[in-house]
Structure 1
């Protein structure tokens, strides 16, 4: 069932591992099928190098297991994925990572402001979802409000959640969050802790492809 989506989840999970967004068995990934509203999601406790599409679980939006082929369970943070899908019907994929620079700001409960143009990818800023113990409904509910203003959220003392129309865009946003977090960290360090200049939302929204570039062939 939904083998193509399962294979996409495995590919992105392994890419995230290779790029350092999450290591060992941390992080989780999912895709919502547009036709059935079923969610394919990574299992709990399986190392990415051992992960196959047969290990990917299928659940519905009420956390009922629809299909599991191997001796695994859905990620313990499944509820967070499901609450995000319910809060944002426009999204079809979720990436949850523990990337180091972004997670450092999550530990401090410090939002990441818009300081470079790449932040446009996820909406401009990265708000912080209030603390909830991993796997609990408290954590799941904590992401609902921040996701109304951004496609990227810091989970206090935990990690990062990004959402997208598809799994590739959600992964790209996770990469941009980590890149921006590192730039922000280094800017604070170089500036003696003083905040760098913040790009106004209006300035970001005014970006457009240059008219002077002639695309006629």
Structure 2
């Protein structure tokens, strides 16, 4: 009997990946995964699928050793990034590896990314993984998972970002907030010094913004645009 809950997860994951491609957080590379509840399996986009047009048929199931359980194709080369984080972080239910333009600039320039807008208050401290290389073997992926630690985001030097969350929607929205904050910090720095939010502002705004209704609102905005555009 077909598991409709897994079908729904596949559809949501496919939508999230196409939404990320549309807003240029990923391009011909990048990947997004989600745990299948109460199993040791994950859903992830296949390596060959075009990120801008993939569907649930392009979502495959693998185990935490990277073995294909269901679906056509193979997982992305950097699948260890996902499996090793899931092994170390039982609380993490979804992981995105993105290649964002503005956030990555800060790792290239070696300038700390700081919370400068209210959405940035939700991001917490963001460590930087210092090795500029593909996360395609288990040893490097273990190092990355350790650098992520208990945080929600880790930037990869001159490469991209890894973002985790309780679900697909939360992970997507965290990516949106990360890149918007980075863009505003960069643009403000062209005028002078880009000032961070005060600690009191961060403490006040983070729990207010990071609520299910606000997360849903951001998701719905991007999801609506995706589905009203016939080319998507």
TM-score by length of 1: 0.83
Deviation, 1:204, is 1.6
Correspondent of 1:56 among 54, 59, 66: 59
Where does residue 128 of structure 2 map in the other structure? 128
- 1:74 maps to which residue? 75
The equivalent residue for 1:22 is 26
* Greater share of residues in helix: 2
TM-score (norm 2): 0.78
Deviation string, structure 1 residues 61-117 (Cα, Å, up to 9, x no partner): 22222112x2x2101111001112122211111111111111212333443112222
The structure 1 residue matched to 2:46, chosen from 28, 43, 46, is: 43
Deviation at 1:149, TM superposition (A): 4.4
**Cα deviation, residue 165, structure 1:** 0.4
CA contact (8 A) 2:129 2:144 kept: yes
- Please give the secondary structure, in 2, of the residue aligned with 1:170: helix
2:202 corresponds, among 201, 204, 207, to 204
Counterpart CA distance in 2 for 1:199 and 1:182 is: 15
Is this contact kept in 2: 1:111–1:128, CA < 8 A? no
**Structure 1 Cα separation of the partners of residues 75 and 111 of structure 2:** 30
Secondary structure of 2:145's partner?
A: coil
Q: Residues 75 and 186 of structure 1: is their aligned pair in 2 closer, same or farther, counting only changes over 3 Å?
A: same
Structure 2 gap ranges (5+): 209-232
The answer (yes or no) to whether the contact 1:27–1:98 under 8 Å persists in 2 is: yes
Count of equivalent residues: 202
Cα RMSD after superposing both structures: 2.1
Query: What's 2:16 paired with?
Result: 12
Residues 173-214 of structure 1 deviation map (CA, whole Å, 9 limit, x = unaligned): 1111110111111122211xx4x33335454224465xxxxx
Question: d(CA) in 1 for partners of 2:129 and 2:52?
Answer: 30
1:59 shift after superposition:
1.0
Q: Distance in 2 between matches of 1:161 and 1:148?
A: 12
Q: Check whether the contact 2:68–2:74 (CA below 8 A) recurs between aligned residues.
A: no
Q: SS where residue 133 of structure 1 aligns?
A: coil
Cα distance in 1, alignment partners of residues 35 and 153 from structure 2: 18
Structure 1 distance, partners of 2:88, 2:189, is 34
Using the alignment, how far apart are the partners of 2:59 and 2:171 within structure 1? Answer: 18
* Compared CA separation, residues 129 and 110, structure 1 to 2 (3 A): farther
Distance 1:66 1:97, change over 3 A: same
